[in-house]
Structure 1
Amino acid sequence: MDAEIASEFSKTESGLKYRILRNSDGRKPTADDTVTVKYRGWLDRGKVFDSSYERGEPTTFPLRNVVAGWTEGMQLIGQGGMIELWVPSKLGYGEAGSPGSIPAHSDLHFVVELVSVE
Structure 2
Amino acid sequence: MVLVAQAAFAQETKLESPAQQASYAIGRNIANEVANPNVPFDIEALVAGFRDGMSGKESKLTPEQTAAAFQKFEAVVQAHMEKKAADAAKAGQEFLAENAKKEGVKTTKSGLQYQVVKQGTGATPTLEDVVVCDYKGVLLDGTEFDSSYARGKPAEFPVDGVIAGWTEALQMMKVGDKWKLFIPSDLAYGPKGNRSIPANAVLVFDIELLDVKK
Trace 1:54-65 onto structure 2 (pairs within 5 A): 54-65=150-161
Q: Deviations over 1:46-78 (max 9, x none)?
A: 000000000001000001110000000112210
Alignment partners' CA distance in 1, 2:122 and 2:186: 29
Structure 1 residue matching 2:156: 3-state secondary structure: strand
For structure 1, list consecutive stretches of 5 or more residues without a partner in the other structure.
1-5
Higher relative contact order structure (alpha carbons within 8 Å, sequence separation ≥ 6) = 1
1:112 aligns with 2:207: yes
Alignment partners' CA distance in 2, 1:7 and 1:114: 23
Q: Counterpart of 1:110 in structure 2: which amino acid? A: F
Determine which of 89, 99, 103 is the counterpart of 2:198: 103
Extract structure 1 runs of 4+ deviating beyond 2 A. Answer: none
Deviation at 1:117, TM superposition (A): 0.5
Give the strand-richer structure, 1 or 2. Answer: 1
8 Å CA contact retained: 2:104, 2:116: no
Alignment partners' CA distance in 2, 1:22 and 1:75: 16
Give the aligned partner of residue 52 of structure 1. 148
**Cα RMSD after superposing both structures:** 1.1
Q: Deviations over 1:20-65 (max 9, x none)?
A: 1111121011122100000000001000000000000100000111
Give the aligned partner of residue 3 of structure 1. none
TM-score by length of 2: 0.51
Q: Deviations over 1:51-110 (max 9, x none)?
A: 000000100000111000000011221011111100000000001101x20011000000
For structure 2, list consecutive stretches of 5 or more residues without a partner in the other structure.
1-101
Q: Counterpart of 1:72 in structure 2: which amino acid? A: E
TM-score by length of 1: 0.91
Q: Counterpart of 1:92 in structure 2: which amino acid? A: A
Identity of aligned pairs, percent?
43
* Greater radius of gyration (CA): 2
1:39 aligns with 2:135: yes
Structure 2 residue matching 1:73: 3-state secondary structure: helix
Give the helix-richer structure, 1 or 2. Answer: 2
Give the aligned partner of residue 61 of structure 2. none
